[in-house]
Every structure is written in structure tokens, then in C-alpha cells.
Amino acid sequence: MHQFQCGHQECGSQYTAANKDDLMSQVAQHLKDAHNVDKATQTLMGYLESTCVTVQP
Ligand SMILES: [Zn+2]
């Protein structure tokens, strides 16, 4: 189980998914809906993946 915790101040949204690809597509959608990021770059996604994603047993 992969978990994403949004690092944006005053947001704090959490998502979980069985695999990382599913999670990151939810994250991309969240960035679009909540943070007006129309096109998340690989750099941004990589950054979020390393800072906001944890792997649960
Ligand atoms: Zn957020």
C-alpha cells in the first residue's frame, strides 16, 4: 500500500493506493483540482514521490 500525504500548507489531503502508478495518477488529479497544476512535470512528480509518499506494509 502506497500512501500520499499532500505537503501543501492548509491542504493535508491523503490518498492511498495499492500501487505507486495508481497513487501518482490520483496525485496528478489532486494537483489539478486542488492546486491548479494543469500539467505536473516529471520533476514535480518525482519530488512529491520522494517527499510525500510512504510505503505501508
Ligand atoms: Zn494538496
pLDDT the model gives residue 57: 85
pLDDT the model gives residue 14: 97
- 8 CA → ligand 1 middle, Å: 5
Coil, strand, or helix at residue 29? helix
CB 6 within 8 A of CB 12: yes
- 9 CA → ligand 1 middle, Å: 8
Q: Considering only CA atoms, which of 51, 35, 54 is closest in space to residue 43? A: 51
The rounded percent of the chain whose pLDDT value lies above 90 is: 93
- 57 CA → ligand 1 middle, Å: 24
The span from the CA of 18 to the CA of 44, in Å, is 21
